[in-house]
């Protein structure tokens, strides 16, 4: 089977760092590169193989670095290029590879390309972006921005509009222009020559726009339509070109952030023949708790649909493309709060159970900073505590139209807002959780006295030590990486059970999503089998067992 081909990036565990919130070395309240350098031994101790670093390039920070004004310079708040080189060296010395965030669907409006582009209609950079005339005194089409409002901004210099699928300070690059592709590929080669080990590609599924930029379907009551700019007509062609011009020249790990990706599309982006990317982030399991106003709701993901979606991706990509496994990142709420139960009585068991459920699947697992501590969502008391442009814009849009009350909206932001993942990393129980000696740029989660790295590193029963074991296990057990997945108990109301098989090894993974005890009959073939890992006190498992709330248990047997 093709995906059984051994690759380092299949065997790796990736750790995502959101630099603004990881560690501040100079007391300005903002995390930085020297802060990361000072914590590399922590990452080594955890055992991760790869760091994915969210953007550290020069940026006016309208969207915390996802709006880049210079791709080849480091954001001043984060340090200098020398700091970067030292950090990269420090990672490599510890056997950790570095994957950089590549944000090339758009630039900042302060990028020199855009400054040129907006200056006149005949500027050589004009076609680096999408400029269109207004229609009847309105925007050129009905597309909405992912961050609320229209996707078009009027610019009086030339009396035309430019496209921005995200904030108006993030104009979309025109990938149909060969000069844009050439400049991006040359910038990527420059980073590769520096010795980085890969790219996580921001909204790469959105780079190719439908010719003519046609209106989208407008739903009743909505002011703007979905642009439909995902998996556009030339996206695969452009990625294959990128692969030829850049990726194939180095030994890299590449992962495309592909909102709106279907299984069929994922098979193209991440095809085992390696013509495009190694893997994609798909978002189907991230949308199961959406409601009428998208993510702004208090709906929760139910086990049935979660299991069905995860299983579909597990089985349908098998042998054809490779999965990325994640339950959280800098855009999502904390996984233990969202998919589990962060009440003190359950939090630790639940964080360990979710980690087991994810890391035992086929694909490359991602740990988002603090997830290895079981960090939770943050109680935000008012809009002034929110820093995220998406949440702030959505608050104004949905409350001013009367669609959602301010109280409900704050509650939804508390459940689903991106800032939940962006509160400072909780290092210890000293002031500001040991993140900064200054004033943190965003609220510190008040639970840092109980939940922090210093305490967990000392406690063998902690979430941190459990992650350590899980990561170490992956190095020893090829079946965790390459085994094929098969769902068991598809109708169970509280258990997610599956097997992994790579002859002669077979694993049975049992995860309870219930806050009460659940009885389960271990299948005969696994009765009495070795316990590989589990979050309970159990030393053996045979016949009928009573699972504790949120128990996880992995059994291993040898086939004859």
Say if residues 15 and 367 touch (Cβ distance below 8 Å): yes
Q: Cβ of residue 219: shortest distance to ligand TEU, in angstroms?
A: 19
Say what the alpha-carbon torsion angle 283, 287, 292, 298 is, to the nearest 10 degrees: -140
395/520 with CB nearer ligand TEU: 395
| Least distance between ligand TEU and beta carbon 108 (Å) | 10
CB of 439 to ligand TEU, least distance (A): 24
Strands 160-163 and 131-132: what pairing? Answer: antiparallel
Residues assigned a catalytic role: 202, 257
CB of 414 to ligand TEU, least distance (A): 14
Q: Which one among 20, 39, 268, 295 touches ligand TEU, defined by CB under 6 A?
A: 295
Q: Which is nearer to ligand TEU, 202 or 397 (CB)?
A: 202
The answer to whether the beta carbons of residues 427 and 41 sit under 8 Å apart is no
Nearer to ligand TEU, 229 or 502 (CB): 229
With respect to ligand TEU, which residue has the nearer C-beta, 105 or 436?
105
Q: How far is the CB of 205 from ligand TEU (least distance, A)?
A: 9
Residues 412-431 that bind ligand TEU (CB under 6 A): 418
Give SS3 for 160.
strand
Burial class (CB in 10 A: 0-12, 13-18, 19+), 493: exposed
Q: How far is the CB of 61 from ligand TEU (least distance, A)?
A: 11
| Residue 342 within binding range of ligand TEU, rule CB under 6 A | no
Closest alpha carbon to 505 in 559, 560, 451, 448: 559
Nearer to ligand TEU, 44 or 299 (CB): 299
For residues 84-100, one letter each, b for 16 or more C-beta atoms within 10 angstroms of the residue's C-beta and e for the rest, the string is beebbebbeeeebbbbb
Q: How many residues bind ligand TEU (CB under 6 A)?
A: 14
**Residue 4 burial (C-beta neighbours within 10 Å; 0-12, 13-18, 19+):** middle
Residues 358 and 409 sit within 8 Å (Cβ to Cβ): no
B/e letters for 458-488, b = 16+ CB within 10 Å, e = fewer, are eeeebbbbbbbebbebbeebebbbbbbbebe
Burial code of 265-292, b = ≥16 C-beta within 10 A, e = fewer? bbbbbbbbeeebbbbbbbbbbbebbeee
Among 146, 201, 502, 507, binds ligand TEU (CB under 6 A): 146
Residue found under tokens 């069905």: 308
Binding pattern to ligand TEU, positions 497-526, x when CB under 6 A?
Answer: ------------------------------
Does residue 63 touch ligand TEU according to CB under 6 A?
yes
Contact between 66 and ligand TEU per CB under 6 A: yes
Q: How far is CA 333 from CA 393, 416, 421, in A?
A: 17, 5, 6
Using the minimum distance from each CB to ligand TEU, give the nearer residue, 33 or 258: 258
Does 168 contact ligand TEU by CB under 6 A?
no
Show contacts with ligand TEU in window 79-138 (CB under 6 A).
Answer: 103
Reported in sequence order, the residue ranges of 503-551 that DSSP labels E, i.e. its strands, are 505-512, 518-521, 530-534, 544-547
Q: Find the binder of ligand TEU among 390, 397, 419, 505 (CB under 6 A).
A: 390
* Contacts (Cβ under 8 Å, ≥6 apart) of 185: 241, 242, 245, 246
Confirm or reject binding of residue 202 to ligand TEU (CB under 6 A).
yes
Q: Is 289 in the site for ligand TEU (CB under 6 A)?
A: no
Task: Determine which residue in the list 52, 166, 281, 339 makes contact with ligand TEU, applying CB under 6 A.
Answer: 166
Restricted to residues 248-277, the positions that interact with ligand TEU (CB under 6 A) are: 257, 259
How near is the Cβ of 53 to ligand TEU at its closest, in Å? Answer: 13
Shortest distance (Å) from residue 297 CB to ligand TEU: 12
Pick the closer one to ligand TEU by CB: 203 or 479: 203
Is residue 302 helix, strand or coil? coil
Spacing of C-alpha 471 from chain mean position: 19
Cβ distance to ligand TEU smaller for residue 103 or 552: 103
Site for ligand TEU, rule CB under 6 A = 63, 66, 103, 146, 166, 202-203, 257, 259, 295, 330-331, 390, 418
């Amino acid at each position: 089977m093709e995906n059984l081909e051994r690759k380092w990036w299949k065997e790796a565990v990736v750790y995502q760092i959101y630099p603004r919130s990881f560690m501040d070395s100079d007391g300005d309240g903002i995390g930085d590169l020297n802060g990361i350098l000072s914590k590399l031994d922590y990452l080594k101790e955890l055992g991760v193989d790869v760091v994915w670093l969210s953007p550290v390039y020069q940026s006016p920070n309208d969207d915390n670095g996802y709006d880049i004004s210079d791709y080849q310079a480091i954001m001043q708040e984060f340090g200098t290029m020398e700091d970067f080189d030292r950090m990269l060296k420090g990672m490599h010395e510890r056997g950790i590879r570095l994957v950089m965030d590549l944000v090339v669907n758009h630039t900042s409006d302060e990028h020199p390309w855009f400054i040129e582009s907006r200056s006149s209609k005949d500027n050589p950079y004009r076609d680096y972006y999408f400029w269109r005339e207004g229609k009847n005194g309105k925007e050129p089409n009905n597309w909405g921005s992912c961050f609320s409002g229209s996707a078009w901004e009027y610019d009086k210099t030339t009396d035309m509009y430019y496209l921005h699928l995200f904030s108006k300070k993030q104009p979309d690059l025109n990938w149909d222009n060969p000069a844009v592709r050439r400049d991006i590929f040359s910038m990527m080669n420059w980073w590769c020559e520096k010795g980085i080990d890969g790219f996580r590609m921001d909204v790469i599924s959105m780079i190719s726009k439908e010719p003519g930029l046609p209106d989208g379907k407008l739903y009743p009551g909505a002011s703007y339509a979905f642009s439909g700019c995902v998996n556009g007509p030339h996206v695969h062609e452009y990625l294959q070109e990128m692969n030829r011009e850049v990726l194939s020249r180095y030994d890299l790990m590449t992962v495309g952030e592909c909102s709106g990706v279907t299984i069929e599309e994922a098979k193209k982006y991440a095809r085992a023949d390696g013509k495009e990317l190694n893997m994609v982030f798909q978002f189907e399991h991230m949308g199961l708790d959406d409601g009428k106003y998208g993510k702004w709701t208090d709906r929760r993901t139910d086990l049935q649909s979660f299991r069905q979606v995860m299983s579909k991706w597990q089985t349908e990509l098998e042998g054809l493309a490779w999965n990325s496994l994640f339950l959280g990142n800098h855009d999502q709420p904390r996984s233990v709060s969202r998919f589990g139960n962060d009440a003190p009585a359950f939090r630790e068991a639940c964080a360990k159970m979710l980690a087991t459920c994810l890391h035992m699947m086929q694909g490359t697992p991602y740990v988002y900073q603090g997830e290895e501590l079981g960090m939770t969502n943050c109680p935000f008391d008012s809009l002034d505590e929110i820093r995220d442009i998406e949440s702030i814009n959505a608050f104004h849009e949905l409350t001013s139209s009367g669609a959602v009350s301010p109280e409900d909206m704050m509650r939804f932001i508390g459940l689903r807002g991106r800032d939940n993942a962006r509160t400072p990393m909780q290092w210890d129980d000293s002031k500001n959780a040991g993140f900064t000696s200054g004033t943190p740029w965003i609220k510190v989660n008040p639970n840092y006295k109980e939940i922090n790295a210093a305490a967990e590193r000392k406690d063998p029963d902690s979430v941190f030590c459990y992650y350590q074991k899980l990561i170490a296990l992956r190095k020893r057990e090829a079946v965790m990486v390459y085994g094929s997945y098969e769902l068991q108990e598809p109708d169970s109301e509280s258990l997610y059970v599956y097997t992994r098989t790579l002859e002669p090894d077979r694993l049975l993974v049992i995860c309870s999503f219930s806050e009460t005890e659940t009885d389960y009959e271990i299948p005969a073939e696994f009765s009495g089998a070795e316990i590989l890992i589990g979050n309970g006190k159990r030393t053996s498992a045979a016949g009928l067992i009573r699972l504790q709330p949120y128990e996880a248990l992995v059994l291993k047997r040898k086939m004859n």
